[in-house]
Structure 1
């Protein structure tokens, strides 16, 4: 798995997977995308946009933010999943929140390789 492929697996869900609520969405997606073993990832954000539209941040759709970080000029629909309880040992239980915000990502070779944060 390349860094770009890992970014896609961990952060891109387009179109957004249907779920009755954000808690169910987060629990399903975190497990499906391999972020609950061997330990539960503490927090993760899914971007509900095509890989192509996110990749534009690495070019004309983004502005430099220091190092290899870039800030998107456009806003994106996001779902942020946070682990509930103190333990990172499975089974993992997540709660989620949705928002529409600009994002900061790291790029390498013109491709997104790391989700930094919403801005």
Structure 2
């Protein structure tokens, strides 16, 4: 019975991955899903926030994403970094002129196999993002 349950879990993970790919998420849409939470979702504490958000946003299905930062600003505000609200760093990377409220979730423990358990750090910092076609497509780091 345990083996049957394992196969069912693998099937569900495969199905979730296939559905994500089938819906044709763009790099910009993926950036929004993984990094933008505005207004900030409520949770009793920052650890609970990270555990809930990482799961809700699909970053704990097959493997636990090691680290992820949520920016608590509107997509429009973050997108300004790709233009007048940012300065070139290198390649397609740009540094924000303004600081943003951030929550960084880091996987606790050594295994990236679900269930996933995260620690959280909150801060207000500038960000470095990659922009393509005038929109953010990758969160690089806080600076």
Greater RCO (Cα-Cα under 8 Å, separation 6 or more): 1
Shorter-chain TM-score bucket reads over 0.9
Greater Cα radius of gyration, structure 1 or 2: 2
* 2:29 is equivalent to residue 9 of structure 1: no
* 2:69 is equivalent to residue 25 of structure 1: no
Aligned length: 119
Q: Structure 1: how far apart are the matches of 2:107 and 2:45?
A: 16
User: Taking structure 1 as the reference length, what is the TM-score of the superposition?
Assistant: 1.00
- CA offset at residue 28 of structure 1? 0.1
Structure 2 unaligned regions, length at least 5: 1-24
Query: Between Structure 1 and Structure 2, which shows a larger proportion of strand residues?
Result: 1
Matches within 5 A, 1:32-47: 32-47=56-71
Q: Structure 2: how far apart are the matches of 1:8 and 1:24?
A: 21
**Equivalent of 2:82 in 58, 78, 85:** 58
Structure 1 unaligned regions, length at least 5: none
- CA offset at residue 37 of structure 1? 1.3
Query: Between Structure 1 and Structure 2, which shows a larger proportion of helix residues?
Result: 2
SS at match of 1:80: strand
Query: Could you tell me which residue of structure 2 aligns to residue 88 of structure 1?
Result: 112
